[in-house]
Structure 1
Amino acid sequence: MGFFRDLSRQAKRMTSDEEFLGFIKVIESLVSKILSLAMVAVILISVVDLIISLGQDLFLHQPVGFFTTTIIKIFGFFLNILIALELLENITAYLKNHAVQVELVIITSLIAVARKIIILDLKEVTGLQLIGLAIAILALSISFLIVRFMNKRTHNGH
């Protein structure tokens, strides 16, 4: 009988808002740590993939020009790793501050759009797609300026 009474008390305590929010924070922290470890694995595998690709182009193939893989594809590899590093920084910042840092998210988005533009094959895109990319860049840039302005204003005490 005492077991059920203790279990009832535990359940009642867990239904309080403070206990529940504490439980949610623990879950958020655990998920963030798992995502961080997964992102580190993705980054390391991507770096190894880049090294293998560069090594094959430099040492195994008869170079035509310098790389058989187009330089644009190599830039794409580098930018993918940079985006992954930015995502890891976003997760790390969340673990430190327990808040999403909007400025970092916007910067990561700008890098992703820049990557798309750098590796873009102009023969395969329509004018409408280019306009869409231009609007995305403009919107992200304006968002970044607004967030940066608001952050500076908050730090300066206004």
Structure 2
Amino acid sequence: MRSVGEKFIQYLSSFFADDTYVRSIRRFEKFVSKVLSAAMLIVISVALLDLILILARDLLQEPFGFFNRTLIDIFGLFLNILIALELLENITVYLQENTVRLELVIATSLIAIARKIIIFDFSKFSHSELIALGIAIFALALSYWLIKRLNSQLRSP
């Protein structure tokens, strides 16, 4: 008869066998992805509700029919939700394909930096910071174009 220690060691060795271990990691990744997507759904719902309440409050306060916030602030709220939706799309693709699509990640990054430029406050930041954002957008746009071009070449015979 084998002792409990021997049985435990045999269990551990079978658990850490390559196939079993990799399957366990994949299951954990799927679990984490599902938790992240559920959390992202909550974040998007709360952000959308917040946006609706802000718009309603601004439109119903005097002067009626005008926004008390600047349109730039409101656009920033819209873009926050759009970025969250893109992040959710990244998670969804990961759950479906078990891979990260670089094209989606770069598109999400482009939206995030575009948001930063749209709401850029020249009184708080220097022109060099705006130039840095421009360089980042150029690099991301170039990366996006290269990836799209490479993907289209790989798909066509």
Aligned pair 1:113/2:113, yes or no? yes
Tell me the residue number matched to 1:127: 127
After superposing the two structures, state which structure 1 stretch, 72-81 or 125-134, moved more. Answer: 125-134
C-alpha displacement at 1:2, in angstroms?
A: 5.8
1:22-41 matched pairs, under 5 angstroms: 22-41=23-42
Give the Cα–Cα distance (whole angstroms) in 2 for the partners of residues 52 and 63 of structure 1: 17
Give the Cα–Cα distance (whole angstroms) in 2 for the partners of residues 117 and 69 of structure 1: 18
After superposing the two structures, state which structure 1 stretch, 62-71 or 47-56, moved more. Answer: 62-71
State, as a whole percentage, how many aligned pairs show the same letter.
46
Tell me the residue number matched to 2:66: 66
User: Aligned residue pairs: how many?
Assistant: 156
Tell me the residue number matched to 1:153: 153
C-alpha displacement at 1:15, in angstroms?
A: 1.5
C-alpha displacement at 1:17, in angstroms?
A: 1.4
Amino acid at match of 2:107: I
Give the Cα–Cα distance (whole angstroms) in 1 for the partners of residues 120 and 68 of structure 2: 18
Tell me the residue number matched to 1:78: 78
Query: Normalized against structure 2, the TM-score is what?
Result: 0.93
C-alpha displacement at 1:28, in angstroms?
A: 0.4
After superposing the two structures, state which structure 1 stretch, 78-87 or 120-129, moved more. Answer: 120-129
Give the Cα–Cα distance (whole angstroms) in 2 for the partners of residues 120 and 4 of structure 1: 63
Give the Cα–Cα distance (whole angstroms) in 2 for the partners of residues 37 and 82 of structure 1: 17
Q: Structure 1, unaligned stretches of length 5 or more?
A: none
Give the Cα–Cα distance (whole angstroms) in 2 for the partners of residues 129 and 99 of structure 1: 34
Amino acid at match of 1:94: Y
Q: Which runs of 4+ in 1 moved over 6 A?
A: none
The 3-state SS of whatever aligns with 1:123 is coil
Amino acid at match of 1:136: A
Query: Normalized against structure 1, the TM-score is what?
Result: 0.93
Give the Cα–Cα distance (whole angstroms) in 1 for the partners of residues 71 and 64 of structure 2: 12
Q: Structure 2, unaligned stretches of length 5 or more?
A: none
